[in-house]
Amino acid sequence: MAVQHESVPTTLLSQPGHGRAPKDAKRTRAGWLMTTPFFLLYFLFLLWPVISAAWKSLFSDSLAGGSSSWRGLGNYGELLGDSDFWWAMWHTLWFTVLSSVPLVVLPLALALLVNRVAKGQWLFRLAFFAPYVLPVSVIVLIWQWLYQPGFGLINGYLTKIGLEEVNWLGAQGTAMIAVVIATVWWTLGFNFVLFLAGLQEIPRDLFEAAALDGAGPWQQIRRITLPLLMPTTVLVIVLQVIASLKVFDQIYLLLQGGPNFSTRPAVQYIYETGFTQYRTGYASALSIVFFLLIVLISALLFASVRRLQRGTA
């Protein structure tokens, strides 16, 4: 008795899903091959330094030489009672608050104004973004001359209108404000470009329809622009807060943390501990705690932004 074999329909063989597994496997291997260099560099230049710093923080290492002894959590216990470190952390947080607010609000306002310009937008982009490409040493040199008493441009204008000169860099009450003003002028252009790019992604049809319905410019900004610009705003806020928390260059070059350490940020204190006092083990512990504080602040910021988005949705 002959056994009859059913033939496989040719339409089944020609279906798109047939033979997809080998192609998917090849794509997966190709993807891993292309991303492997990135992961290697990510591990070598980011993850490994963090792991190495965490390990060194458990020892009493020193750049001056000598034997390295195990301290365990001794460096972290010393850190809890280190008032200089916590004052440096306070200066960092204070600078972050003073600089982040204008570096979000001012670029947004300028981007809203420039976005309404029909011709010559490139000139405004160039004018606002040009300071950002200057190195920090040039920025510090410019603002040192501007803040100088006697012949500085800012104090010159103050005396012309009948006001007294201000010791911008020598008084504890104005030193941090002077750094914030220079930082805002220097880095405003980057956030401005981000906001302007986000504004140009919003369809013009929405504004035209709102204008036909009788919505004025302020109503269009409040009801259309700001809600649709929320993803860009969140990005700018997060990037700006993280950048302000890592402040070091302009404060160190402009004031060296003075006067009387009233502007010394956390990064400068870690630098001085590791490369001036040569206590690399303790500096590693400071770095780990500072890193965890930045992660915590970023997580809280993300959580608050998500809560705000849910409330406005």
Q: pLDDT digit of tens for each residue in the chain (313 aa)?
A: 444 444 545 554 445 555 566 777 778 888 888 888 888 998 888 889 889 989 999 988 887 776 778 888 989 999 999 999 999 999 999 999 999 999 999 999 999 999 888 787 888 888 999 999 999 999 999 999 999 888 889 998 999 898 888 899 988 889 999 999 999 999 999 999 999 999 988 888 887 788 887 777 788 888 888 888 988 988 899 899 999 999 999 999 999 888 889 999 999 999 999 999 889 999 999 999 999 999 998 888 888 877 776 766 5
Local structure of 59: helix, strand or coil: strand
Task: State pTM to two decimals.
Answer: 0.83
Place of tokens 């770095």: 287
Nearest-angstrom CA–CA distance, 137 and 257 = 16
Residue type (1 letter), 128: F
Q: What is the DSSP string of 59-90?
A: B---TT-S---B-TTHHHHHHHT-HHHHHHHH
Nearest-CA neighbor of 253 among 155, 152, 145, 144? 144
Q: What is the CATH T-level fold of the domain 94-264, as seen in this structure?
A: MetI-like fold (1.10.3720)
